[in-house]
Amino acid sequence: MAVVKLSSGYNIGVPPSSCTCIEQSVPAPSRSRVVNKTEGLPDLSIISTGGTIASRIDYRTGSVSSQFDASDILTAIPELAQIANYRTLPLAAILSENMTPVIWQELARAVYTEIKNDAAGIIVTHGTDTMAYSAAAISFMIDTPVPIIFVGSQRSADRPSSDNTMNAVCAAAAATGDLGEVAVVMHATTNDDTCAIHRGTRVRKLHTSRRDAFQSVGLPAIGSVAYPSRAVALTTDAVRRGSHTLALHDNLEPHCALLQFYPGMSPDLIRAYEGYKGLVLSGTGLGHVSTLLIPAITKLIEAETLVVMTSQCMHGRVCDRVYDTGRDLLNAGVIEGGDMLPEVAFVKLMWVLGNVKDKTKAAVMMQTDLKGELNRRSAHGL
C-alpha cells in the first residue's frame, strides 16, 4: 500500500498497482551552517535542541531518534528560505525527556547572544513532550524585544503525516512578525490550515499524538499563522516587538521539585524533600491535599522550604480559603499559586529562588504576574 498525503493533511492508501513509480536521487542533507543571504529578508536564528522535528526513523532499531540539526531542517524545508535569512546553532540533539535545567541555561545564553547579535527573531526547535517547560523557563530567564518561538512536530519528517514543514514555516513567519515574547507555535487544528501562537507560560501539550496537541490554558491563544499564506494575526493581549529591553537572568535553583497529590499519599513523600529550597504541590480542586500531609508540609516550611500550591484542574484557580483543609494549609505557610499551571509554577519557583534569596520577597514574586503566567481574574468558561 502506498501512502499519499492530501492537501488537508490527511493520508490515503493507494494500491501499488495504481501507482507509477519514479526513482529520484536524493542528495544527502548538508551539515553546513552557512545559509546564503537574500537581500531584504530579516535575519533569524534557529537554535536546535533535537526532538521529533529533528528526527527520523533509525532503521537499525525501528524507532525514532534525533539525527539532524537546524541546517538539515533548512535543507529539508526550502520554503523557509522565502521568509528570512538564517543563522543556525546546534545546541543539543536530544529527545525532550532528556532536557535539563542546565540545558535551559545554555539555551537562554545562546538566545541572548543571538538577539544581542541583531537577530530579528529566534526559532528554537524542541521535542514536544517537555517543550512547555522549556518555553516557560526561557520566558522567565530572558526579557526579549523580539519573538522567541518554540516549535516542534508530533510526527517525524519521514512520515507522510508529518507536521514538521507547516509548523516550521509558521514558526518562521511568527518570528518575523510583531510579537515580543516567548511563544509556542504548533498546529491549531488537525488540518494543514492554521498554526496557533501560544504564550510560553500558558500552554500545555494535551494529547499524546494529535497534531493539534498544544492548547493555551487559562486564556485564548495570543495569535495565529495562516497556512500557506503565512499571514500572522496577534490578539491585543500579545506583547509587541520592542516592548522590552534585552536582558538575561539565567540563575536557577536546582533543588526544587513538583509533586502531584493523590489519595492515600504517604507523608514520607513530603519528608523526602527535606533540604529542598522549593516544592510545588499539584493539589486537588481549589488546592487541597490530605490533612494527614499537613504536619509534614508544616515541618518542611519551618525548615525554610518554599511550598507553593497549584491545582490539578485544567482551568480555574487555587483558593484555600473555602474549606478547612485549605485554611490549615495557609496557616502552615503554603503559598497559593493562583491559576498557574503546576509545571509553570515549578519552573518559576526555580527561577525566583535562583535570583532572590529573601524568602518573603520570593513568596511575593510567586504571587506576582511576571510573564503572563498568572491571570488576576479567570475568564468565564476558562
Model confidence pLDDT, tens digit, residues 56-82? 555 445 555 555 556 677 777 889 999
Residue among 302, 371, 359, 374 at smallest CA distance from 140: 371
What is the pairing mode between strands 63-66 and 142-143? Answer: unpaired
> Residue 374 and residue 136: Cα distance in Å, rounded?
12
Q: Can you state the percent helix, strand and coil of the chain, rounding each to 5?
A: 30, 25, 45
Residue among 378, 362, 340, 382 at smallest CA distance from 136: 340
Q: Which domain holds residue 225?
A: 40-248
SS3 per residue for 15-53 = CHHHCCCCCCCCCCCCCCCCCCCCCCCCEEEEEEEECHH
Give the count of domains, the chain.
Answer: 2
Residue among 171, 206, 168 at smallest CA distance from 76: 168
> Residue 134 and residue 344: Cα distance in Å, rounded?
9
Banded pLDDT at 27 (limits 50, 70, 90):
very low
* DSSP single-letter state for residue 135: H
Question: What would the pLDDT profile of 119-152 be if each residue is shown by its tens digit?
Answer: 999 999 999 999 999 999 999 999 999 999 999 9
At 294 the three-state DSSP class reads: helix
The answer to whether 97 touches 133, Cβ cutoff 8 Å, is: no
Residue 288 lies in a domain: yes
Predicted local distance difference test score (pLDDT) of residue 50? 80
CATH label of the domain that carries residue 312: 3.40.50.40
Banded pLDDT at 34 (limits 50, 70, 90):
very low
**189 and 53 part of one domain:** yes
This prediction's pTM: 0.86
**238 and 262 part of one domain:** no
| Domain closes at, from 248, 281, 311 | 248
Question: What would the pLDDT profile of 144-192 be if each residue is shown by its tens digit?
Answer: 999 999 999 887 666 666 788 899 999 999 999 999 999 999 999 999 9
pLDDT over 90 percentage in the chain: 72
**199 and 312 part of one domain:** no
CATH label of the domain that carries residue 194: 3.40.50.1170
Residue 14 lies in a domain: no
> Residue 228 and residue 369: Cα distance in Å, rounded?
35
* DSSP single-letter state for residue 113: H
Please report where in the chains the cell 490539578 appears, as a residue. Answer: 312
Residues with a known catalytic role: 52, 128-129, 205
**327 and 232 part of one domain:** no
Residue 13 lies in a domain: no
